[in-house]
Structure 1
Amino acid sequence: MLRLTIRQMQYFEGLAQALHFGRAAAAMGVTQPALSAQIAEMESQLGFPLFERGAGRVRLTEEALTLKPRIERILAEVQDLESFARRERKVLEGRFRLGIIPTIAPYLLPELLPRLKQGFPGLQLEVREAVTGTLIEETDNGRLDGMIAADPIVEPRLAYQSLFEDAFHLAVPEAEAERIAPPVAQESMALERLMLLEDGHCMRGQALAVCGMVKPVTMESFGATSLTTLLQMVSHGMGVTLIPEMARKTAALLPGLRILPFAAPGPSRTICLAWRRSNPRQADLAALCGIVKEANQAIT
């Protein structure tokens, strides 16, 4: 009978992340021989190797890659159980790992973080910025407690709460603003010069949806990795780009840039907080929803 222990699975997860026995052992506060012995016992019980060892490098085997998401989900459930057992703690106290997408983080965090620090001094917040797909995976497997992103969040194992609507505007070069008569229609030919974020960013798909019948041609061969880069390119006359309401005040400070409204009903995105359905920290998540809404109101 297979008798894997929680400790063995934790050691497996640590080594799978570090890919180095020494660093993994140090991160987990154990000796390298102790870590190696537990991994070896785990491999013996499973009947196949989990790691390729050689020349100081460690790689996961094909079997380990298949096993990894299952172990991560098991450990996430264990963590949820531990959180439930400590349910008498105060709201938003202790460790909370929050993911947030790059087109929200730079604009929301400067207002959100001070509010959380002042209102919840016992909170140990860890922030992870990544694209939506990565955050969904890491929330599902338990590496994150929650994530802030734009709808849609397509994962049946996650629940989510809509927080607020974030309207879109069009950022254009100052020299061209007079030729693009606001409010801008979604069929405007100005959108042919729309510059997009790289694949993987949800705002790329949202920008394409805004364009209606107009096909962007400016950025067919490459895209930017951040909205800040796109805005710099717009300010130098290289094209136009979509900008969310929460970034409007920051963008307005850039020279050579003009922010134009869209014709009503204007396009927007729905910002959500998502979490694993099994996550017992419902009071924490509810409180976080309220604080995020307050932070957004302060910046828009």
Structure 2
Amino acid sequence: MNLSALSLRDLEYVVAVAELRHFGRAAERCAVSQPSLSAQIRKLEEALGLSLFERTSRKVLLTPRGEAIVAQARVVLEEARRLLALADGSGGALTGRLRLAAIHTLGPYLFPHILPPLREAWPDLTLILSEGRTDSLLEELRDGRLDAVLLALPVETDGLVAEPLFFEPFLLAHPAGHRLCSSPTLSLNDLDPSELLLLEEGHCLRDQALAACGLSARGGGVHATGLETLRHMVAAGAGCTLMPLLATQGEAGRTASVGGLVDYRPFDASSNGARPPGRVIGLVWRASDPRDRGLRDLAALLHRVMPAGTGPVLS
């Protein structure tokens, strides 16, 4: 195959279909008609002498060889973006499109807080927001499907940059009228492990809650699929849980308190002055991203506008 037959636009089409698993939605993302996108991908497949996708009436799947081609296409596109950043003199500033994701237990509560200042700072930046679990988000980040992720630190940072933003404390969410309501102080030692409700395996918040309470991976007998389900389980009187501060604030926190059936209470600082249980929230991106300077500017902005009730990250 001659290089002249390969275009970056064709690679964008292929990557879009691979990510969305749908030719129509991929065409919308690429601002082209579906017949044109399909024809270009067919042309590329013929030039490469292989099929990139399995096409059925219900879904689109990558072929084994297609997976390798898409992975390399992402590398080529990132290097092309690096070239453009050098050429336009932006010096790594944030321009064009930014695919920003957050873990499920953070995104719905942090995005409303950070979007206004972010949009003010970069009015021409096109934001594509999503959510997921830590492992899948890091995989998508390394593969080039995401540009930056907001999650709880620490994480494995080989090839990545992780910038701490703020400390988010955990509150105790318990049913209204619970025995701990009358306790003058509150520490983790006051919790009954048999009452502890957790998210299902795969959520980093589950691991953080277990670690804070000094329990094994098998601790807690009742699990929830998501944070809002967990909150409603507390409202139903099934037990108590550790709730991230941001999930208790604003409209989401008020609405999901289920008519006053859930109370939130902060933990007291320990006798030696140590912080109450919580997590460090950070922004993570690829070290190879040509927009490194812009992403550092983004991290600095997010640090400046840290939500009320959170605190600085202690070294």
**TM surpasses 0.5:** yes
Is 2:242 the counterpart of 1:242? yes
Alpha-carbon spacing, 1:259–1:156, altered in 2? closer, same or farther (3 Å): same
Aligned with residue 217 of structure 1, among 220, 231, 238: 220
Query: Match for residue 207 of structure 2?
Result: 205
CA distance in 2, matches of 1:22, 1:106: 27
Query: Match for residue 264 of structure 2?
Result: 258
CA contact (8 A) 1:158 1:277 kept: yes
Aligned residue pairs total 297
State the secondary structure of the residue aligned to 2:214. Answer: coil
CA distance in 1, matches of 2:203, 2:277: 17
Output the TM-score relative to the length of structure 2: 0.80
Amino acid at match of 1:259: R
Question: Over aligned residue pairs, what C-alpha RMSD do you find?
Answer: 3.1
Q: How does 1:15-164 map to 2 (within 5 A)?
A: 15-21=17-23, 24-25=26-27, 27-30=29-32, 34-55=36-57, 58-88=60-90, 92-164=94-166
Query: Match for residue 289 of structure 1?
Result: 299
CA contact (8 A) 1:186 1:212 kept: no
Query: Match for residue 172 of structure 1?
Result: 174
Consecutive unaligned residues in structure 1, runs of 5 or more = none
Q: Deviations over 1:106-143 (max 9, x none)?
A: 32222211122334333332222222222212222223
CA contact (8 A) 1:19 1:59 kept: yes
Alpha-carbon spacing, 1:84–1:150, altered in 2? closer, same or farther (3 Å): farther
Cα drift, residue 270 of structure 1 = 1.1
Alpha-carbon spacing, 1:73–1:55, altered in 2? closer, same or farther (3 Å): same
Cα drift, residue 98 of structure 1 = 1.4
CA distance in 1, matches of 2:116, 2:173: 29
4+ long deviations beyond 6 Å? none
CA contact (8 A) 1:194 1:239 kept: yes
State the secondary structure of the residue aligned to 2:188. Answer: coil
State the secondary structure of the residue aligned to 2:164. Answer: strand
Alpha-carbon spacing, 1:21–1:173, altered in 2? closer, same or farther (3 Å): closer
Query: Match for residue 276 of structure 1?
Result: 286
Cα drift, residue 64 of structure 1 = 1.5
CA distance in 1, matches of 2:46, 2:167: 53
